[in-house]
Amino acid sequence: MYLDHFKFNDLPFALTPNIEFYCQLKSHHEALNTLLFCLRSGEGFIKIIGEVGSGKTLLCRKLLHCLEEGFFTAYIPNPDLTPLELRRAFARELGINPALLQDQHELLGIINSRLVELHAAGKKVVLLLDEAQALPLESLEAVRLLTNLETEKAKLLQVVLFGQPELDEHLNQPHFRQLKQRITFSYYLSLLSREELDTYLFHRLAVAGYTYGALFTQKARNLLFQTSRGVPRIVNVVCHKALLIAYGRGERVITHKMLKLAIQDTEAATLPNRSARWYLSLLLGAGLMLGLVCMIIA
């Protein structure tokens, strides 16, 4: 593709969450520190909320990479599961074959025994649920019931929920007040600021092996921020397409005109609509004039 053209070692804007490209942006860094502190302290429920494309999955994988040997992690990336399917998925993550068990009561019993065994071995068990807003409501309640498993002195399971804002809508329902009360820490991932966009771009390009100056002009970066609204996933999609356009043209610098073409081919990105802004300004101006006329007449 364009790797040789730009002298990249790797694709800088691939959509697959790759922790090698993890950028210590303020919001993500604070969220990661919060997660590590809470899990080491033995907190029961932790919630991370972020908009679509804000980097929740990458943060989740970075957390998995950062946890020490004293942790035993169970990772469920797609929790659109019934309560029984969720328990079976959790059992498999614990090294249990749920097919050997007869019913849910037996399944819960063997899960509890396995958690006690891991606790006795000095392991803190952490269940990480990505895309938690997709959890059916009855399965969300099943997660809460799993955290009831405990010894006389300690919880046997900690849970981290990564989800979109819709997860908060679920938790605000009255019948989830018990679960909401157990969430000891929560964090909302913010999107990229204009300054962070530059940091994000330069970081990913450097990790990909690019060391040949500014690849995107400042005008292109300004347009990228305006149209992506600071969403990292949209930034990645648009930048990838812009690189393809530059490669096809034999260019080595991304201008705002190339970026504009990439944006036009990306449904999630929105170009500024000058005619709409002009029409809105006209309406506002007419409204002000009408107000002044009414004041004079009165």
Domain ranges of the chain: 1-12+192-298, 26-188
Average pLDDT, the chain: 88
Residue 262, both tokens: 């990439």
CATH architecture of 26-188: 3-Layer(aba) Sandwich (3.40)
pLDDT for 1: 77
**283 pLDDT more than 80:** no
pLDDT for 207: 96
Span 1-12+192-298: which CATH code? 1.10.8.60
What sections of the chain are H helices per DSSP?
3-6, 26-41, 56-66, 83-93, 104-120, 137-146, 166-171, 177-182, 194-207, 218-228, 232-249, 256-264, 274-297
Average pLDDT over residues 75-101: 90
User: What tens digit of pLDDT does each residue of 102-161 get?
Assistant: 678 888 899 999 999 999 999 999 999 999 999 999 999 999 888 888 777 778 999 999
N-terminal to C-terminal alpha carbon distance within the chain: 70
Whether 1-12+192-298 shares its CATH topology with 26-188 is answered no
pTM of the predicted model as reported, rounded to 2 decimal places? 0.86
pLDDT for 162: 97
